[in-house]
Amino acid sequence: MNTSNASLNERIALATQTRFGEALPLPTGTPGADELARQLEHSSHRKWTEQPVDPGLLKLLFACALSVPSKSDLQQADIIHVADRAKIKAIADLIPDMPWINNAPVFLTFCGNNRRIRQIGEWRGKPFVNEHLDHFMNAAVDAGIVLSQFIRAAEAAGLGTVPISAVRNFPRETSDVLGLPEAVFPVAGLCVGYPLEKGHITARLNLNITVHTDRFDESKLKDNIDAYDQRRHKLFPLRKQRHPQRYADVPFYGWSEDKARHYSVPERSDFGAFIREKKFSLK
């Protein structure tokens, strides 16, 4: 094995051990090992250098992102490049605990777009008869796939990113800032730039929790979650306990305690109403 392959194997083993608690070997002869290693080493970034992102590179990354599969070739995802710093600030002011939005060299918003298909039907004299939940899901999933592909392409070009789902905390305000019409809705924002510092690999749930064979299995879920809490805590302990005004501090504060607290408080409870305002019935 040459030095390069040995290095890639070591990177993959280290990344999977850190991410999933299990060092996975690279099967001999597997092509694209460098790309696999890079994906496994993914990290989010919230601080950037002052180096601007070349407009030509950004356009190329848009092309990469929009080259992904699309449900039935409906192409229901749009990207809004928020180039006006006043508009970025207006969105950032809605989310004051995320100052990196305003500091990012590039801010994008990924949207689901069911409007074009409706318009095309009108132009071609055909009825739109799929007024139900699935057509919302199709647009949302398309936008999510495009977002993921953009992140992958951006990282290949040396950029760092962090998604901003919090735009959905203020969907009407975000829509107003970006001029989103009926049947177009924000899925997530994305900060983009050249990272100021190296990120770290965030531990994820072990593969025995999230990967199933033949049928769904949660027979050992609680024990596996407890083990994951301990593994993640050893790597990167959570710095503060969520909702201290509601809950007393506990001696061990793991991921599952944090997420239980997270979803014990209403969040985006009016998002369904907003989507209906956008002319999705959600039936």
If the chain, 283 residues long, is cut into consecutive pieces of 10 residues, what is the mean pLDDT of each piece?
A: 71 97 94 95 97 98 98 97 98 97 98 97 96 95 98 98 98 98 98 96 97 97 98 96 97 98 95 95 90
Q: Is 234 helix (H, G, I), strand (E, B) or coil?
A: helix
Q: pLDDT value at position 94?
A: 97
At 1 the pLDDT is: 44
Of the candidates 88, 81, 70, the residue with the CA atom closest to the CA atom of residue 110: 81
pLDDT of residue 253: 98
- CATH architecture of the domain with range 55-199: 3-Layer(aba) Sandwich (3.40)
- CA 24, CA 34: separation in Å to the nearest integer? 15
The structure tokens 């990344």 sit at 15
The torsion angles phi and psi of 242, rounded to 5 degrees, stand at -70, 145
Domain spans, the chain: 55-199
pTM for this entry: 0.95
Tell me how far apart the alpha carbons of residues 182 and 176 are, in angstroms, rounded to a whole number.
11
Sequence-separated (6 or more) residues with CB below 8 Å from residue 119: none
Neighbouring residues of 184: CB distance < 8 A, sequence distance ≥ 6: 78, 111, 112, 113, 114, 115, 175, 278
**Per-residue pLDDT at 6:** 67
The per-residue pLDDT for 5 is 66
